[in-house]
Amino acid sequence: MCGIFARVAAEPVADTLIEGLKRLEYRGYDSAGIATLEQGGIARICTVGKVEALEAAVRSGPPKGSIGIGHTRWATHGAPSERNAHPHIAPGVAVVHNGIIENHRELRQGLSDLGATFRSETDSEVIPWMISHHMASGAKTMDALRKAGEDMKGAFAVAALTESEPDTLHALRRGSPLAVGFGDKGAALASDPNALAGFAREAFMLEDGDSAELSRSGVDIRNAQGEKVHRQIVTIDDTALTTGSDGYAHHMLKEIHEQPQVIQRILSTYGSTGSILGRLTFDFRRVTRITLIACGTSYLAASLARRWFQEIAGIAAEVAIASEFRYEPLAPVQPGEIAIVISQSGETADTVGAMHRLKERGIPVLGLVNQAGSTIAREADCHIPLLAGPEIGVASTKAFVAQLTVLARIVLAAAQRRGHSGVSILHSALVRVPDSVSAVLHNEPAVMDVAQRVLQARSALFVGRGHLYPVALEGALKMKETSYIHAEGFAAGELKHGPIALVDSTTPIFALASSGPLFEKCASNIREIAARGGRIVLVGDRAALLALSDVATHALTVPHCPDFVQPIISTIPLQLLAYHVAVQRGLDVDRPRNLAKSVTVE
């Protein structure tokens, strides 16, 4: 979603603003812009589309200013256009904004009455006008920005540049992430701490209500009461957003292929039950109910974990979509309730909102987060890092598999703590997963072949039962977001209650079925589809393949493994499939249209 990058230095900053914005491209955006101070006056350059277009515009008349703000905009209010792109300007003030100003209409009306002239359709444009208005009454920039913040409802991160204070950048955070860094070459701020690589070694993560002033000599961070504060320091991962895709054609492909190492890293770090339990603020022996909350792909990881908790650890568990949970009427809290919130970015606005609601209700929250220093990582009562490493491709792959692996380890630790038997057998199965995932990755040519055959499909169905049902949903989600083919996932047993009407010879049906307790049930459902002319691509182990060879048009084989870990392994061919279908359709697989990596608005 929107990205902010700003810098004050002893040299011209335009090139580094572009570099910073490129590092934020993965968040998703549709226009970009910068503003610098040129001989005391604000100069703004904005373009629609990729940062390359902005870079070309900047190169054609390079700004010389040594202080500037930059932005990549993911449109919310008003279409992607040069006018709606940030920075937004009012007399003497330029502002970039991430988030949503919910009361922008009434603010706009009030400011118009005072003589403001708006040129965009955005909610954000009220901010520079509010600052300008307060400064006209004598306020310094920081006070004017804070006053504007008091008038705004919603979530935001704002960076401002003013002509009256030409050596200082001003920033304010409420709800949307902002990291501030300082190094030999001045100070910088960004929506993602890793975008500061090369400008600072460490970043301070602003907290809600914080403001910051950045100059060439240092940074000054204040809390909502205006008191000087030190904030959590995050070590910047130099390799994170600055490296390319390491010889892979795309980040998504690189991230899919990294998965054996990611799983191995998780299993080594959280190998012992103590390494999990020692991070918790609650005791699994006393837990009576778990609510798992997340969005999108992370929600699908939560859905699988719900089954695992019930089946393996014997704990009642439920799963909720964060955006629904936030506003849902809830039953009274029971003793022993805990919640697990799951997020790659740790900044998803709905998941953060759900976490706040849980905390208000006094429910202990365990956060599973990939992005160090993010809001959920900081604010959850306890936190287990996902250790996937930076995920740049917008479609989540290795973070999903990391979520499943970490959740599997937690479930086993919970089961052990509660005295359940059989944990060591399941743990041995988990330890073998990296090898099985590598074996699936070696089978990539077979996936490419199937991708080629389904490329022209207008829609695709994914079906599975039990543990493989969430994987079917994830397969469909991956397919639709990367290839724009309409794809739906269903519980295989549910198909005959309606969706089977969609089955015809042009619609590929990806059936997830491997030998295990539900195999025969799922095999019957697959036969029902075949009997109606469905084109079945079986994703399963050899035994499943043999049993269904008469009805499967094509097959993607996965190694045989215990039911518990089969979902992790069965996910891999579906990720590769979504990737190759998208690439063969000529699409921008790392940055699919309309999507954002970090969804910081609700």
- Enumerate the active-site residues: 2, 597
Contact stretch for ligand F6R (CB under 6 A) within 56-64, 129-137, 291-299, 543-551: 291-299
Tell the smallest beta-carbon distance from residue 472 to ligand F6R (Å): 15
**Exposed, middle or buried: residue 315 (CB in 10 Å: 0-12, 13-18, 19+)?**
buried
Q: Which of 396, 515, 525, 566 touches ligand F6R (CB under 6 A)? A: 396
Should residue 298 be labelled a site residue for ligand F6R when binding is judged by CB under 6 A? yes
Q: Nearer to ligand F6R by C-beta: 128 or 346?
A: 346
Q: Residue 252 has which token pair?
A: 């998504």
Q: Nearer to ligand F6R by C-beta: 222 or 591?
A: 591
Should residue 162 be labelled a site residue for ligand F6R when binding is judged by CB under 6 A? no
Query: What character string, x for contact with ligand F6R (CB under 6 A) and - otherwise, covers 429-468?
Result: ----------------------------------------
Q: Where are the beta strands (DSSP E) in 480-540?
A: 486-491, 508-512, 535-540
| C-alpha triplet 190, 174, 207: angle, nearest 5° | 70
Nearby residues of 306 by Cβ (< 8 Å), 6 or more positions away: 290, 292, 317, 318, 319
In whole angstroms, how far apart are CA 502 and each of 454, 509, 533? Answer: 16, 10, 11
Q: Nearer to ligand F6R by C-beta: 207 or 602?
A: 602
**Rule CB under 6 A: which of 573-602 touch ligand F6R?**
599
Q: Which of 36, 124, 194, 343 touches ligand F6R (CB under 6 A)? A: 343
Distance of CA 250 to the CA centre of its chain: 18
For ligand F6R, the nearest residue by Cβ is 296
Tell the smallest beta-carbon distance from residue 597 to ligand F6R (Å): 7
Helix or strand holding residue 316 (H, E): strand 316-321
Number of residues engaging ligand F6R in binding (CB under 6 A): 14
Should residue 395 be labelled a site residue for ligand F6R when binding is judged by CB under 6 A? yes
Q: Which of 2, 1, 6, 30 is nearest to 18 (CA)?
A: 6
Q: Nearer to ligand F6R by C-beta: 72 or 344?
A: 344
**Exposed, middle or buried: residue 425 (CB in 10 Å: 0-12, 13-18, 19+)?**
exposed
Tell the smallest beta-carbon distance from residue 595 to ligand F6R (Å): 8
Contact stretch for ligand F6R (CB under 6 A) within 87-95, 227-235, 338-346, 418-426: 338-346
Torsion of CA 147, 150, 151, 155, to 10 degrees: 120
**Rule CB under 6 A: which of 479-498 touch ligand F6R?**
481
Q: Which of 42, 131, 197, 295 touches ligand F6R (CB under 6 A)? A: 295
Tell the smallest beta-carbon distance from residue 268 to ligand F6R (Å): 23
The amino acid at residue 14 is: A
Q: Is the peptide bond before 87 cis (omega within 30 degrees of 0)?
A: yes
Contact stretch for ligand F6R (CB under 6 A) within 278-286, 294-302, 326-334, 561-569: 294-302
Should residue 374 be labelled a site residue for ligand F6R when binding is judged by CB under 6 A? no
Q: Nearer to ligand F6R by C-beta: 341 or 411?
A: 341
Query: What character string, x for contact with ligand F6R (CB under 6 A) and - otherwise, covers 344-373?
Result: xx--x--x----------------------
DSSP of 76-101: SSS-S-TTTSSPEEETTEEEEEEEEE
Nearby residues of 439 by Cβ (< 8 Å), 6 or more positions away: 559
Q: How far apart are CA 308 and CA 287, in angstroms?
A: 15
The amino acid at residue 301 is: A
Nearby residues of 8 by Cβ (< 8 Å), 6 or more positions away: 66, 67, 167, 168, 169, 186, 187, 188, 214, 215, 216
Bridge-based pairing state of the strands 486-491 and 459-464: parallel
Contact stretch for ligand F6R (CB under 6 A) within 103-111, 343-351, 380-388, 499-507: 343-351
Cβ pair 313, 418 in contact under 8 A: yes
Q: Residue 587 has which token pair?
A: 């699409």
Q: Nearer to ligand F6R by C-beta: 111 or 406?
A: 406
Q: Nearer to ligand F6R by C-beta: 273 or 343?
A: 343
Q: What secondary structure letter does DSSP report for 600?
A: -
Tell the smallest beta-carbon distance from residue 371 to ligand F6R (Å): 8
Q: How far apart are CA 303 and CA 435, in angstroms?
A: 25
Print the SS3 string covering 339-390: EEEEECCCCCHHHHHHHHHHHHCCCCEEEEECCCCCHHHHHCCEEEECCCCC
Tell the smallest beta-carbon distance from residue 524 to ligand F6R (Å): 31
Contact stretch for ligand F6R (CB under 6 A) within 141-149, 248-256, 265-273, 342-350: 342-350
Tell the smallest beta-carbon distance from residue 446 to ligand F6R (Å): 23
Tell the smallest beta-carbon distance from residue 474 to ligand F6R (Å): 8
Tell the smallest beta-carbon distance from residue 342 to ligand F6R (Å): 7
Contact stretch for ligand F6R (CB under 6 A) within 79-87, 341-349, 509-517, 528-536: 341-349
Should residue 514 be labelled a site residue for ligand F6R when binding is judged by CB under 6 A? no
Should residue 297 be labelled a site residue for ligand F6R when binding is judged by CB under 6 A? yes
The amino acid at residue 327 is: Y
Torsion of CA 570, 576, 581, 586, to 10 degrees: 160
Q: What secondary structure letter does DSSP report for 501?
A: G
Residues binding ligand F6R (CB under 6 A): 295-298, 343-345, 348, 351, 395-396, 477, 481, 599
